[in-house]
A and B are shown apart, each in its own frame.
Chain A
């Protein structure tokens, strides 16, 4: 009996060692596995500022582990910029066309089989595609651009965890694509306060009016329970400070890009460009509460590259 007894100190030491070992065992595999582990306990968001677009994007993607982490050889990529409005690049209402073009090219360089862009525009699509410069950008870089303006592009899915949204019509290609990359532009928004990554998802559904009638913020959060982009890149090259989402309004040049795999954390961080604290934006707080990502800025690791 006496030989087997452990002193209190020894017991505490042993528990400490096991504890550290367990912690280490938990952390090490987490560090080794790519991407998914970022969600817990601290989310990571990469930010690149300054320089030209190509340089900025390069550093940003490197910080995220490289485009190859998301786009494998033979991948079908659904790229989702914001092309909702018939505005020109300097009006900061749509995603910067240079960013879109660069991304398409990088996807192909990483071995993508095809890159497609589907957008359910708000204004008439011929003017949106033309004025934003994204029609030409997609043509030059070899991506197919579609206006998802009629039911034929959509399929209906259920939202089992949805509180306000129970089912929704989504662009069919979402189910065919291997990779879904969200490339919104950061803007002020009259109804939703700010439109960043999660709000940009309203361009892949058919009936936006329903969300407005059923509780906009809750629907935005509900949707993210079923559709999760692997990577979100927020275009903050120029941001729209007032009069959003269509403008015209005050444009601020930030020459910044924000990226991450946690779409809630990316949105929370990007909202700080407007002086927000993330959680004071209703849909960001709701998404955080539903466990879809980290909305608390204090828990988000910001890596400036």
Chain B
């Protein structure tokens, strides 16, 4: 039977090339997610490719989201060709490989027994079930999201400082890395800690996250069950065990000739490193020499004996536990008072869906926070309640909403910030400004100020001369809550004019 991979190009090198290209593409897309946001490919391409992001978003929205067509295409390719995404495309996987190579290359590639392969399936079920309810903690577990969010919130502020000190070389097109004078994000160390926690698991075994925890890996693993690409081990195999040691996801388990197809990420390391050239991947069905470990066994007890080894299998009982747990978590989340409280300083970007839909759909990916030209979009901790954690809010003291900008609505992959034109954006009130005349230096001290009026793009401040000084008032009809007044008020750090959120953020959808 012809093996389609018996070609001059080593598959492993092809994989390495693709892995590098996709990682560079990821970094490139990340760096270019800023003003003016012009490129051939969409900046949030990796999110649109992610079937897990698609699944969470689609289930949360209760409708298909057209932007996620690339993810659907990836699923079809995975069904045919296996779980190659994890070693060819996934940026988080590449980051973990880098961490392993740099810091933990000495660690033995061993099988972990305190947690099974199937834990990630239980996590997947949990994530998908909770998506049906208010908020899914899927954002915590989706790898592309973790990668981008970590890059943005933990690393980008430092990258910006380094870029500036190296002379601020412009990006292609002559634009800066970020248009604000400094990039800061609230709680950077927290996001770094999440990443480091997962990265540190590499010291236990290679690609620990991908083997045991990643719900995307689980989802793709399910899809790859039907793959036409099969691994075959010929009789030349002398059971030296080299392939088993190099296999990054431990798919060669429990014996040297055994194979778990849903764990294999098609990196082709085993094939390249087999000293007897006994491994091949092809279309032909493997000979029955391989025991049917990869078969999906859903049994009451979750162990099975293969040869001399006891291997875990997908357990029906634990699946039900994760399903039930997801329902419980979802119900409790619906009752989260914090997210229904409508904290008055929780200002959402223009174009954001009504609050409950917003926190459902928001992937906490960090795209909008990265692209915000004034660095005003910051991650929440508890301001939106527990269910709203890590969603973006506008902090006018840090950065206001620039009048001519709609970049956040352009990059949001799930549509939590729906795409809007600048013309429409200018008519959406995300909040209203209020003046505290006890703090305003014009009101309280009779000084010549009116900086708020100077900067207001919407002419929403008017003034009257009272006792020899011009004193400002807010015209609530015109104010959209952009926050430039609060940002520029010289009375700071406690500004005399402050923007308050307007309840269920979308005032009305104007007639255009």
Chain A residues contacting B484 (CB-CB under 8 Å) are 123
Which residue of the partner chain B has the closest CB to A249?
A: B459
B residues less than 8 Å from A131 (CB atoms) = 404
Q: CA A249 – CA B462 in complex, angstroms?
A: 13
| A248 vs B460: C-alpha distance when bound (angstroms) | 11
List, in ascending order, chain A residues with CB within 8 A of B450's CB.
190-191
CB neighbours of B451 from chain A (8 A): 191, 208-209, 212
Check A213–B403 contact: CB distance below 8 A: no
| Complex CA–CA separation, A222 to B281 (angstroms) | 81
CB of B317 to closest CB in A, whole Å:
57
Given known A149-B181, A209-B492, A246-B456, contact A123–B448 (CB-CB < 8 A): no
A74 near B: Cβ within 8 Å? no
Chain B positions within 8 Å of A209 at CB level: 451, 488, 490, 492
Which chain A residue lies CB-closest to B403? A86
Complex contacts, B470 vs chain A, CB 8 Å = 190-191
Q: Any chain B CB within 8 A of the CB of A150?
A: yes
* Interchain CB contact under 8 A, B448 and A127: no
Whether B402 pairs with A127 at a CB distance below 8 angstroms is yes
Taking a contact as CB atoms closer than 8 A, the residue among A86, A123, A126, A190 that contacts B175 in the complex is: A126
Pick from A122, A124, A150, A192: contact of B179, CB under 8 Å: A124
A235 at the interface (CB under 8 A from B): no
Q: What is the CA–CA distance of A276 and B166 in the complex, to the nearest angstrom?
A: 49
- Which of chain B's residues have a CB closer than 8 A to the CB of A149? 180-181
| CB of A19 closer than 8 Å to a CB of B | no
Residues of B near A123 (CB, < 8 A) are 402-403, 455, 457, 484
Q: Per-position contact with A for B33-50: 1 when CB-CB < 8 Å, else 0?
A: 001100000000000000
For A126, A149, A213, A248, the residue with the greatest tally of chain B CB atoms inside 10 Å of its CB is: A126
- Per the bound structure, the CA–CA distance linking A192 and B454 in Å amounts to 10
What is the CA–CA distance of A249 and B453 in the complex, to the nearest angstrom?
13
CB within 8 Å for A126 and B448 given contacts A190-B463, A246-B455, A246-B457 = no
Q: With a CB–CB cut-off of 8 A, which chain B residues contact A245?
A: 454
For A213, what are the chain B residues with a Cβ–Cβ distance below 8 Å? 441, 447, 449, 490-491
Chain B: interface residue total (CB-CB under 8 A)? 33
Instruction: Encode contact with B along A231-271: 1 for CB under 8 Å, 0 otherwise.
Output: 00000000000010110110000000000000000000000
| Complexed CA–CA distance, A217 and B450 (Å) | 13
Contact A126 B176 (CB under 8 A): yes
User: Per-position contact with B for A179-222: 1 when CB-CB < 8 Å, else 0?
Assistant: 00000000001111000000000000000111011011100000
- Contact A212 B404, beta carbon cutoff 8 Å: no
Say yes or no for A108: interface residue by CB 8 A criterion: no
**A192–B484 alpha-carbon span in the complex (Å):** 19
Fill in one digit per residue for A44-68: 1 if any B CB lies within 8 Å of its CB, else 0. Answer: 0000000000000000000000000
Known contacts being A124-B374, A126-B179, A126-B373, is A246 close to B448, with CB within 8 Å? Answer: no
Whether the Cβ atoms of A125 and B490 lie closer than 8 Å is: no
User: What are the interface flags for B147-163 relative to A under an 8 Å C-beta threshold, 1 for contact and 0 otherwise?
Assistant: 00000000000000000
- For residue A36, give the distance in angstroms from its CB to the closest CB of chain B: 33
- Say if the beta carbon of B293 comes within 8 Å of chain A: no
B182 within 8 A of A: yes
Interface set, chain B 432-451, CB cutoff 8 A to A? 441, 447-451
- Residue B405, interface by CB 8 Å: yes
Residues in B with CB closer than 8 Å to A189 are: 454
Separation of A131 and B35 alpha carbons in the complex (Å): 13
Q: Is the CB of B453 within 8 A of A190?
A: yes
- Name the CB-closest residue of A to B452: A190
Q: Are B448 and A124 in contact (CB under 8 A)?
A: no
Q: Is A210 within 8 A of B402, CB to CB?
A: no
Q: Mark A144-170, 1 if CB is under 8 A from B, else 0.
A: 000101100000000000000000000
Contacts of B463 in A (CB 8 A): 190
Q: Which of A102-127 contact B (CB under 8 A)?
A: 122-127
Q: A131 CA to B459 CA in the complex, in Å?
A: 19
A125 proximity list for chain B (CB < 8 A): 179
User: Which residue of chain B has its CB nearest to the CB of A131?
Assistant: B404
B458 to chain A minimum Cβ distance, whole angstroms, is 9
Q: How far is the CA of A212 from the CA of B182 in the complex (A)?
A: 24
Residue among B180, B448, B457 making CB contact with A216, cutoff 8 Å: B448
The answer to whether B404 and A86 touch across the interface, beta carbons within 8 angstroms, is yes
Q: Is the CB of A190 within 8 A of B403?
A: no
- A215, B447: Cα distance in complex, Å: 7
Q: Which residues of B contact A (CB under 8 A)?
A: 35-36, 175-176, 179-182, 373-374, 402-405, 441, 447-451, 453-457, 459, 463, 470, 484, 488, 490-492
**Would you give 25 A-B contacts (Cβ < 8 Å), ordered by A?**
A86-B404, A122-B455, A123-B402, A123-B455, A123-B484, A124-B373, A124-B402, A125-B179, A126-B36, A127-B404, A131-B404, A149-B180, A190-B453, A190-B454, A191-B448, A191-B449, A191-B470, A192-B448, A208-B451, A209-B488, A212-B449, A212-B490, A213-B441, A213-B491, A215-B448
Q: Given contacts A127-B403, A243-B459, could you give 11 more A-B pairs where the C-beta distance is less than 8 Å?
A: A122-B454, A122-B488, A124-B405, A126-B175, A127-B405, A131-B404, A147-B181, A150-B182, A190-B454, A192-B448, A245-B454
What are the nearest 10 A-B pairs in CB distance? A209-B490, A149-B181, A191-B450, A126-B179, A150-B181, A190-B453, A216-B448, A190-B450, A212-B449, A212-B490
